[in-house]
Structure 1
Amino acid sequence: MTDPDIPLSGAYTAWWAEVERTLNGAGCDTLVSRSDDDLPIGPLYPAGRALPVWRDTRQPCHVVQHVDHPDLTIANGLALDDLDGGASGLALVLAGAPAAQGFGVEIADATDATSLLAGIRLDAITVRFEVATVTPPLAWDAVTGLVDPGSCASSIDFGLDPIGVMAHAGGMPQAWGSLARSTAQAVATIRQKGFVSPVLRADGRPHHAAGATDAQELAAVLATGVAYLRAIEDDGPSLEDARMALSFTLSVDADEFLSLTKLRAMRRLWASLETACGLTPRPIALHAETATRMLTRRDPWTNLLRNGLACSAALLGGADSVSVLPHTSALGLPDGFARRLARTMPLVLMQEADLGRVDDPAAGSGAFEALTDQLSHDAWRLFQTIEQEGGMVAALASGAWQERIETARQQRQSDLMAGTRCVVGTTAFTTADETPVAVLPVSRRDRIDPLPIEATRFVPLTARRETAFFDQQGGAQ
C-alpha cells in the first residue's frame, strides 16, 4: 500500500507485509477503496488520537417524525400516533418546503394550528419547522401563539433557511442584502417573544438530495452558517449571541461509515470556525435525516435496510435528533404502518441496541479519526473556495456550485450504469414478484412559490433519486 494519506509504521507495516504475501502480487493498493470525494479508505489503520466533538450529551437523541399530510385533521391523528408510539419530536412540514416532497401542511392562522396540534403538548416534545419561504412564515405566529414561551423557550427549532429555500426554488426574490436584514430581524422578533431556541438553519439536505458529496454538503452548510452569522451580527447582536440562533441539519445514507464521519466532521469544522472567530467552541444543535436520494421505488422493502444503516450512523455519529423517512416515501405519502417502522427503528437502536449510550464511540478509532480528519480537510478547503467566490449566495447565483454538484451526481450515475456501484433490488438482485406496499391516496403537488419578475434567477438544486433512471427503464439485472 503506497497511499501517503495512510501512514505505515511498526507492527502496522509488518501486518501489511504479511497481507502483501497473500495477494499474489496484486499489491496492497487493491484493498484501498475511494469515497465520492476521492478519500482513501483502507482496510486497517493505526490507532487514532481522540479529539473532542463538542456535543451536549445531557439529552438523548430525539426521534422526530414528519407531519406532512395536507389534511390537518388526518395529520393530527398521525402525529398523535407517532407520539404515542415513542417519537419525542415532530417536524411541521409546510407545503412547498424543500423537505415536503410535494406534500405538506398549510397553517394560515390560529384555527389551522389548533386543528393540527389538538391534544399535543408542545412543552413536552421538540418541534421543528420545515419552511417554504425566505421570510418568516405565518405558521410561526399561529403555532407559537398557542404556547407559553417560558415552557417551550428552547424546544422549538424555527428552521428559517432562506439560502436553502432559494437554492431549491432557483432564485432570489430580492437582493441578498435585503434578505439578510429581514433574516436578522426575524431572529430579533423571536428573541423578543422569549424564545431562545434556534431560528436559522444551515441545511445540507437540498445539496445532498441534488447529488452533493459528503465534503460538498459540509462545505455548503459551513458557508450557509457563516452567511447567517454575518447577517445577524450586522444587525447588532454579538457574535456570541448570533451563533446561538443557528442549528444544523445533515443527510445520512446507507454508507454508514462515511455518514457517521460526516456528523463528527461537522462538529469539528464548526468548532474550528468558532475558534477562528475568537469564540470558545460550544455544542451545536445537529439534526440528521435519512437521505431522500437513496430511497428506491422498486423493491421498497430494501429501503428499511438502508434506513437502518443511515439511522445507525446518525446515532453513532452523535446527532441530537434524527428523522427516518419511511421506506415508502419514494412512492407517495407514507401510511401509519410505514410511519411506525420509521419511528421504531431509532427507538430499537437506542433502547435495545444501546447505540446512544456512548458519547462518541468512534473516538480514538484509527479509521474514523483518519476519515474525520480527511473529510474535514476537504470540506474546509471547499468552504474556503466558496468564500473566495463571494459566499454561498454568490456561488449559487453564478451557477458554479450547481455545476460542482452535478459533476458529482453524474459520476455516481455513471458508476451505477457501469455496474461498479449497485443498489440492491433495483440495479442488482431484482425480483419479479415484489410484495406491494401501501401509501396514502394523496397526490403530490410540487408547489414552489413563484418568484417576482425582478427576481434573480439561477439553476435550482433539484432533488434526484439515484435510481430514478432505472425505474424508468424497468430496472437492470
Structure 2
Amino acid sequence: MADTPHSAPVSFSEFDAVSTAAWQERIKRDLKGADPAALEWATAEGLNVQPFYHQEALHGLPTQALTTSTAWLNIPTYAVGAADKGHTAIARAADALERGADGIYFELTDAASFDISYLHERLPLSTSYIGYSVRIGAASFVERLLATGTPTLRGFLRFDPVTDHAPDLPHQLAELRTVLTLTRHMAEFRALTLNGAFFANRGGTVIQQVGFALAAAAVYLEQLPTDDIPLAEVAAAFQIQVGLNPNYFFEIAKLRALRRLWATLLHAFGLPADAAQALRIFAVTSTWSQTTLDPHTNLLRATTATMAAVLGGANAVGVAPFDSLYQSPNEFSGRLARNLPVILREEAGLNRVADPAAGSYYLETITDQMAREAWAVFQRVDAAGGLSVAIGMVLQELHAVAQMQFQRIASGEQVIIGTNRFQNPHEQFDYNPKKLLRSKEFDSTRAAYPSEVLRLATVLHFQRREKKHRRAAVVLLGAHTNQLIMESFLRLLPVQERLALKASHPAGTLSVLFSTPEAATLMYATPDQFGHFARVVCRVAINEPDFVPPTLLTADLATMQEAVSLFGFREFTVEGYSTDDVLARLQGR
C-alpha cells in the first residue's frame, strides 16, 4: 500500500563491534581482580547460571524454531464439585465467553452428574472450545457429549490415569482407546491431555516437571496403540497441561525444553520430526506458588507466569483467581483473572511476535541445560519401569524437593513476598482463619502453607487472648514445622545470638500450637499421640477406620490441658525465649 510506512533496517554502525574477549576483559577490570567465576550462581534445580552470556554460547546448541501460532487462547477454569450438575459454573462460563475468554475448562469431580444437555443449550458443543477433566468414566462421558447430536467437538479431555495413579490401569487404558476411537475424526479436539501440572503443584523443579511429564507420555505411547489405533494417531491426540510458577526465565525455558524433548521422544518411538509440531501445551497458574497471606500478590505472580507461558510457546493459558484458595468463585476475582491474558494480548501485544525468546544467549543456553537434565530424569524413571510402576519413587522425590523449598523459605533464602518477607503485620483477612484451618479444602500442598498455618494459628491465639474465653485450641502445624519456625526465628535475631540458641524436638514428630487465653505454646507429638488426642477431643471411637484428624481442634480449657498432658505432648523450646516471644517476633509484634 502506498500509505504503508516502510521500516528501516536496524543498524548501529556508529558503534564498533565488541568481541566476547573484550567484554570478558572489561568484566575482569570492573571486578578489580576478583574471579568472575565467583559471580556464577547455582539454582535450586541444580543448574549453574553464568553472569555473562555471549554469542559463542550458542555454538553447538541445537537450533529450535517454535512453529506454534501466536493466536494463543485464554481459557479460564471452573471447578464443579461432587453431585453438582454444574449449572452455576456453566452460566459463569457462558458469561466469560462474552467478556474476553476464548474457551472454557471444566474440572469435574463427578462427571456423571454434570448436566451435558444444559451445557449444550448454553454453549453449543460444535462451536464452543471446551475442555473437561474427569477421573473416571471417560468413555461414557464422551459418549454423552456426542449424544447431544454434535458431529464434532472442539477442545480437549484431560483423563490421565497414569499421572493421577488411578486403580486398574488396564481398564483405564481401554477407556482411553474408546475415547480416541470416538474422537479420531475431530481435528480440533485433543483426547489425550496429560496432567503435567500435578508435578508443578507439588513443588517439583522445572526439570522434574518436564522429565516426569515425558515419562507419563511414554506409558501411553507404549501401551495405547493397537491394530486399530496406530501410534501416530495416539501421538497426534496429545496435549500437555503444565503448571506455571513465577520464575520467569526458567518457566519460558521449561516450555521450550518440553517442546524440544517431545520431538526427541517421538523420534525414539520412530515417528517423524514433523509429528512433534502437533503438540499443544495448555499452561495454567500453579497452586504451589499461591498464598492466602497478602493474596493480591497472587495477581503479580500470575502475570509473570502467564507472560512466561506466552513467550515460551504455550497454545493456551489459564489464570486462577487470586483468592481461589479461600473464597468461593466470585465475579471480581474471576474478572481480574480472565482479563489478565486479555491485557497481555490486546494491550501488551504479546500475540504479535512468534517465539520472541529465540536467539537469546541466556534463554537458549538454559533451555539446552534444562532439556539435557530433564531427559536424564525421564531415562531414570523409564529404567525404573516407567511412571506407572515408579510412581512411588516419583512422589518421594517430589516430597524431598518440597521439603527443601520449605527449608529455604523458612531461612529466607527463597522469598515469598507478603509471606516470609515484607509481611503486612496489620493485615485484615477476607476470610475466617478458624473456618479456613478447619476446612478439608484448604490446600496444604503449597510452598507457603507452613508459614500460613503458623500465622493463622497465632492470629487465632491473639484473638482468643483478647477475648479471655476459657477455651483452648490445638492447631496441627505439620511435620518438620518446628525446624522451620526455628530457622525463621533465628533469621530475625542479631548474628551473635544465633549460634548460642538450640531447639529441642525429635525428628519425625508433628508440630502443634497449644493456645489458651493466657499463652501460646509450641509443642511436638508423634503421629500416634496426636491421632489418639484428636479422637478423644472429637469423641471418635478408637475403632473408627476413616477418621482423619482435623487441623484445628477446640474444647474447654480443662479438657485440652488434661489431654495434652495425658498423651505426652512435649514443649518446643528455644533457649532464652518463651514461645510467646518467638511467635510475637515472627508476627512482627
TM-score, normalised to structure 2's length?
0.68
> Mapping of 1:139-154 within 5 angstroms?
139-146=141-148, 148-150=150-152, 152=153
Q: Secondary structure at the match of 1:334?
A: coil
Letter in 2 for 1:82: A
Unmatched runs of 5 consecutive residues or more in structure 1: 1-9, 96-105, 167-171, 448-461
Q: Counterpart in 2 of 1:132?
A: 135
- Residue type of the partner of 1:65? P
Corresponding residue for residue 16 of structure 1: 24
Letter of the structure 1 residue corresponding to residue 294 of structure 2? D
Q: 439, 447, 450: which is aligned to 1:466?
A: 447
Q: In the alignment, what sits opposite 1:405?
A: 398
* C-alpha distance in 2 between matches for 1:476 and 1:438: 18
Residue pair 1:229, 1:243 contacting (<8 A) in 2 also: yes
Q: Supply the AA of the counterpart residue of 1:405.
A: L
The answer to whether structure 1 residue 432 and structure 2 residue 425 are counterparts is yes
**Corresponding residue for 1:347?**
342
Matches within 5 A, 1:95-134: 95=109, 106-108=110-112, 112-133=115-136
Aligned equivalents of 1:75, 1:438: Cα separation in 2: 22
* Larger Rg belongs to: 2
**3-state DSSP class of the match of 2:425?**
coil
Take 1:337 and 1:262, find their aligned partners in 2: how far apart are those partners?
A: 31
Aligned-pair CA distance for 1:250? 1.0
> Among residues 90, 109, 115, which one is paired with 1:76 in the alignment?
90
Counterpart in the other structure of 1:61: 72
**Alignment partner of 1:270 out of 262, 270, 277:** 262
- CA distances 1:355-398 after superposition (whole Å, capped 9, x unpaired): 121111111111111011000000001101111111011111xx
1:52 aligns with 2:72: no
Structure 1 counterpart SS, 2:77: strand
1:169 equivalent in structure 2? none
Preserved contact between residue 76 and residue 117 of structure 1 (Cα < 8 Å) = no
Tell whether the 8 Å contact from 1:247 to 1:285 is kept in structure 2 after alignment. Answer: yes
**In percent, how many aligned pairs have the same letter?**
27
Kept after mapping to 2: 8 A contact 1:76/1:118:
no
Q: Distance in 1 between matches of 2:404 and 2:158?
A: 32
How far apart, CA to CA, are the structure 1 residues paired with 2:117 and 2:98? 19
Q: Which residue matches 1:362?
A: 357
2: CA distance, partners of 1:273 / 1:50: 16
Q: 1:61·1:320 contact (CA, 8 Å) conserved in 2? A: yes
Residues 266-345 of structure 1 aligned to structure 2 (within 5 Å): 266-281=258-273, 282=275, 283=277, 284-345=279-340
Three-state SS of the structure 1 residue aligned to 2:75 is strand
CA distance in 2, matches of 1:444, 1:33: 41
Q: Which of residues 347, 366, 371 in structure 2 aligns to 1:371?
A: 366
Aligned partner (choices 163, 176, 179) of residue 183 of structure 1 = 176
What is the one-letter code of the residue matched to 1:357? R
8 Å Cα contact 1:109-1:139 kept in structure 2: no
The number of aligned residues is: 428
CA deviation string 1:316-358 (max 9, x = no partner): 1110000011111222333111111111111111111111211
CA distance in 2, matches of 1:476, 1:403: 32
User: Tell me, which stretches of 5 or more residues in structure 2 are unaligned?
Assistant: 1-17, 456-585
User: 1:129 and 1:445, CA in 2 relative to 1: closer, same or farther beyond 3 A?
Assistant: farther
Q: Is the 8 A contact 1:65 1:324 kept in 2?
A: yes
2-side partners of 1:430 and 1:250: how far apart? 30
Q: Which has the higher mean CA deviation after the structures are superposed, 356-365 or 296-305?
A: 356-365
1:335–1:415 CA distance, 2 compared to 1 (3 A): same
* DSSP 3-state at the match of 1:210: coil
List structure 1 segments (4+ residues) > 6 angstroms apart after TM superposition: 441-445
Q: Given the superposition, is the C-alpha separation of residues 179 and 84 from structure 1 closer, same or farther in structure 2, using an over 3 Å criterion?
A: closer
1: distance between equivalents of 2:121 and 2:350? 33
Q: Structure 1, residues 136-177: CA drift from partner, whole Å, max 9, x if none?
A: 164433333335224x3xx221112111222xxxxx422x44
CA shift in 2, pair 1:473/1:326, >3 Å: same
1:428 Cα deviation after fit: 0.3
Matched residue of 1:379: which SS?
helix
TM-score after normalising by structure 1: 0.83
2:145 is the alignment partner of 1:164: no
Structure 1 Cα separation of the partners of residues 133 and 34 of structure 2: 51
Shift of 1:190: 3.4
Is the alpha carbon distance of 1:107 and 1:242 closer, same or farther for their aligned partners in structure 2, counting shifts above 3 Å?
A: closer
Matched, 1:423 2:413: no
Match of 2:37 in 1: 29
CA distance in 2, matches of 1:427, 1:94: 34
CA distance in 2, matches of 1:62, 1:473: 39
Alignment counterpart, residue 173 of structure 1, candidates 150, 167, 173: 167
Using the TM superposition, name which of 325-334 and 263-272 deviates more: 325-334
Q: CA deviation at 1:80?
A: 2.0
The amino acid of 2:370's aligned partner reads L
Q: Which residue of 2 aligns with 1:230?
A: 222
Give the deviation of 1:195 after TM superposition: 6.8
